[in-house]
Structure 1
Amino acid sequence: MKLRIRSALLTRACLLVLAAMLCLFAPASIQTASAQTPTAEDLKRDRNRGLAMLQLVKDYLKEYYYDPKFHGMDLDARFKTSEGKIKEAVNLGQILGIVAQTLVELNDSHTFFVPPPRPVDVEYGWKMQMIGDTCYVVAVKPGSDAEAQGLKPGDEVLSLDGFKPTRQTIWKMEYNYNVLRPQPGKRVLIRTPNGEQRELALKAKVEKRPKQINLEQLYNEINDEREDEKKLPRYVELGSDVFIWKLREFGLTESKVDDMMKKARQRKALILDLRGNGGGHEITLKRMVGYFFDKDITIGEVKRRKETKPVKAKTRGDKVFKGQLVVLVDSKSGSASELFARIIQLEKRGTVIGDRTAGAVMRSIYRPGLLGDMSSGNMVPYGASITDADFILTNGQSLEHVGVTPDEILLPTAAQLAAKLDPALARAALLVGAELSAEKAGTLFPLELELH
């Protein structure tokens, strides 16, 4: 089961599931959707496929969704409305958007539509993030059009294609641009740290995918991404006493967690950086929690339609880390990251520093779909992430739409972002008795390296 925020990592994992499914049940290639204006015949086919996708998503919701009342939504009426819209849609993009919007209206962090593979790869070359209640540019890729036009970290994003990013809407923007409807560019209105407003038309790097995608190629692309991630810096040692661990995803195997904690146990203090970590596997979360307590810990309960079960982390016994612990979080820390940080707070095991987290804490399952003619290889894979359980903490509260408020809120200013300083990591080092300037901290895990 997954405890994960809406993210590119989840979409990639879903594509891996689809690829595996196709290897078992279909020929060695699949057709991607055409980006050209559809003929009447193509439009009829796409509408029919859209209706089939919508029906399967509805069936999955009725079978698996944790809330049988669907938050008060009249499911049959809502899907009937979507059916009518699909029958009037004029292109595939609209059709997929209608299916996606139907799930978005549940306002559930872990329930969303995963559309068929895109006909293009799009790289925007810059990254934005909510810091407090303000959206800032936090990274710009060298050599990108964004860099050429002078976009810089620390620029405040006032609007994106006419829409203001907020904590409530930013995930929808990222889902639309990165998953549902990749665009050749974005029009952004920014305000620089000196107060100047600029409107920029930023071009993306767009590469067309072949009309036929070989499954071996798809696997290789996913594995290449994983290899690139492995090259990113994962930890830093400050002298002999402090270990800084940048955990980007709760996707490690138990043995990998053991390897990292073996390194950390040799130090007096651990700074666990969960900023940007959207969550991951429950088994990884339980293994992590078990390393910080000398007794078994109940993390919370998963509440499904007909049953409620505790989620417990077994102590690692004599392998437990007994030193100081500081956890760093931000607005992109989601799901398993939030649960870990909150458990540390509730059990008074360490200090949490940074920004309020995403408030995206549910438990989900992925359910695939497949349309097309297997004999010809003209296949359309898609799927949906469905929340099958709410996660309730031991204090009776859910973090969904709430998030974790750090013990110490520490937000970088626009000027600090522009200078690529990391005041939160510097503060964490100070708390455990180490010397680390904000300038030096900003060089340890540069965001630019994470831009794909």
Structure 2
Amino acid sequence: LYGFVSALSGSPTAVAAGEAPKDGKDEGKPSAIVSNAKYDDIALFGRVINFIEKQYVDKVNTRELVYGAIKGMLETLDPHSNFMPPDVYSQLKSDTAGKFGGLGIEVWVNKDGVLTIVTPMEGTPAWKAGVKPGDRIMRINGESTKGMSIVEATTRIRGEIGSEVKFTVARDGAPKPIDFKMKRVTIDVKSVKAELLEEKFAYVKLNHFQEKTAQEVKAALAKMESKRKISGMILDLRNNPGGLLDEAVDTVNLFVDKGPIVSTIGRNKEEKDVKYAKSGIARLDFPMVVLVNGSSASAAEIVSGALKDHKRALVAGSRTFGKGSVQTVIPLADDVG
């Protein structure tokens, strides 16, 4: 669920994340002893559930107990690892397809455990209401967000189209918390926006990396070139919170003809997954500039870092968000993940 990402091996933008604990508790112990301890812990979990089912004052739902335990287990790892019950898992699949209901904000849990807005999506209710990157969400519909996971927050923010949601944020420089009230709408994320500047420079804005983003970039370039040959390109990744890793890799491959694009390394350093550019695809016939800011995160950082490391583009703007981890969606039983 958590790994290591760099635009190129040894890149200065590399970020280590999710390393195995270094307390050495299991080092040097025979594998049989470690294995037995693990089974003892699992047996303890079973005894606790059995006790609750028999002794708790109210009747309990065993599945809800198990789901809650798994959720708590994953929350001890990092802010990005989450358990998704059926409703949330179904919602995630809708998100990556680019269409869902909500307010149009990307959130994460910062290093202090506070639910924080990465960016509002352009044209959405949150964008129009004046929500800012870095706003810290204190309450959603009157409920405190303290200890709330990203999955829980997302579930509360979304709801029936046309219904209202209220949330309160703390903002740097603001004398007091700011209250927002807005109606949920269908969020249809347009991944790619493009236009021809001064009749020769391609401007491509990527809002999110979702299904078919790379294809849409390629199509946008072809459409602009049907009018006039492109002399240069601006790739705007400002306020891009990331998205699908494979789409980020395919986007880089549109402009890089060879070499590694990104590598991922998990706990086992020997298992290194390197994504390489495929030759014969890339456009190398015009210069590029990539625009980034503090809300350019994850997949957006991979794209900008790879283009910079391959000396394919000049990267301009401010320091990026700094998320160098990759999450993998793992389907489990009963449509959970």
TM range (shorter): 0.5 to 0.7
Distance 2:117 2:41 in 1: 35
In the other structure, the counterpart of 2:76 is 105
Shift of 1:160: 0.9
The percentage of aligned residue pairs carrying the same residue is: 17
Residues 143-202 of structure 1, C-alpha deviations (whole Å, 9 max, x = no match) = 97x89xx9634597455138789xxx9xx6532211489688555144597x44246374
- Shift in CA distance, 176/349, structure 1 to aligned 2, threshold 3 Å: same
The answer to whether the Cα contact below 8 Å between 1:70 and 1:106 also exists between their aligned partners in 2 is no
The answer to whether the Cα contact below 8 Å between 2:301 and 2:320 also exists between their aligned partners in 1 is no
Helix, strand or coil for the counterpart of 1:240?
A: coil
Shift of 1:362: 2.4
Amino acid at match of 2:85: P
Helix, strand or coil for the counterpart of 1:364?
A: coil
Counterpart of 2:279 (choices 302, 311, 315) is 315
In the other structure, the counterpart of 1:234 is 193
Distance 2:299 2:137 in 1: 30
- Shift in CA distance, 143/85, structure 1 to aligned 2, threshold 3 Å: farther
Mapping of residues 330-369 of structure 1, within 5 Å: 330-352=293-315, 353-362=317-326, 364-369=328-333
Distance 1:271 1:127 in 2: 25
- Shift in CA distance, 277/261, structure 1 to aligned 2, threshold 3 Å: farther
The answer to whether the Cα contact below 8 Å between 1:297 and 1:313 also exists between their aligned partners in 2 is yes
In the other structure, the counterpart of 1:262 is 222
Counterpart of 1:296 (choices 258, 265, 270) is 258
Distance 2:106 2:195 in 1: 25
In the other structure, the counterpart of 1:115 is 85
The answer to whether the Cα contact below 8 Å between 1:251 and 1:281 also exists between their aligned partners in 2 is no
Query: Higher helix proportion, which one?
Result: 1
Distance 2:156 2:312 in 1: 41
The answer to whether the Cα contact below 8 Å between 2:295 and 2:320 also exists between their aligned partners in 1 is no
In the other structure, the counterpart of 2:168 is 188
Amino acid at match of 2:254: Y
The answer to whether the Cα contact below 8 Å between 2:307 and 2:313 also exists between their aligned partners in 1 is yes
Distance 2:252 2:103 in 1: 35
Shift of 1:287: 3.3
1:325 aligns with 2:325: no
The answer to whether the Cα contact below 8 Å between 2:214 and 2:250 also exists between their aligned partners in 1 is yes
Shift of 1:71: 7.3
- Shift in CA distance, 112/320, structure 1 to aligned 2, threshold 3 Å: same
1:177 aligns with 2:153: yes
Helix, strand or coil for the counterpart of 2:77?
A: coil
Shift of 1:279: 2.7
Helix, strand or coil for the counterpart of 2:87?
A: coil
In the other structure, the counterpart of 2:138 is 160
Residues 45-82 of structure 1, C-alpha deviations (whole Å, 9 max, x = no match) = xxxxxxxxxxxxxxxxxxxxxx9967779994876776
After TM superposition, the score normalised by the length of structure 1 is: 0.46
- Shift in CA distance, 174/237, structure 1 to aligned 2, threshold 3 Å: farther
Question: Cα RMSD over matched residues?
Answer: 5.2
Amino acid at match of 1:113: F
Counterpart of 1:251 (choices 184, 208, 211) is 211
Shift of 1:139: 4.8
Residues 215-274 of structure 1, C-alpha deviations (whole Å, 9 max, x = no match) = xxxxxxxxx97xx335x7621221212212122215327654532343566322212123
Counterpart of 1:200 (choices 169, 175, 179) is 179
Amino acid at match of 1:177: A
- Shift in CA distance, 126/70, structure 1 to aligned 2, threshold 3 Å: same
1:382 aligns with 2:327: no
- Shift in CA distance, 128/260, structure 1 to aligned 2, threshold 3 Å: closer
Counterpart of 2:242 (choices 272, 278, 289) is 278
Amino acid at match of 1:175: V
In the other structure, the counterpart of 1:33 is none
Shift of 1:313: 0.4
Residues 350-392 of structure 1, C-alpha deviations (whole Å, 9 max, x = no match) = 222244234143262522311xxxxxxxxxx312xxxxxxxxx
Q: How many residues align?
A: 277
Shift of 1:84: 7.0
- Shift in CA distance, 203/84, structure 1 to aligned 2, threshold 3 Å: farther
- Shift in CA distance, 366/143, structure 1 to aligned 2, threshold 3 Å: closer
Distance 1:112 1:286 in 2: 24
- Shift in CA distance, 367/321, structure 1 to aligned 2, threshold 3 Å: same
Shift of 1:336: 3.1
- Shift in CA distance, 141/260, structure 1 to aligned 2, threshold 3 Å: closer
The answer to whether the Cα contact below 8 Å between 1:291 and 1:315 also exists between their aligned partners in 2 is no
Helix, strand or coil for the counterpart of 1:287?
A: helix
The answer to whether the Cα contact below 8 Å between 1:298 and 1:311 also exists between their aligned partners in 2 is yes
Mapping of residues 122-161 of structure 1, within 5 Å: 125=103, 127=105, 139=120, 152-154=130-132, 157=135, 159-161=137-139
Helix, strand or coil for the counterpart of 1:367?
A: coil
Helix, strand or coil for the counterpart of 2:332?
A: strand
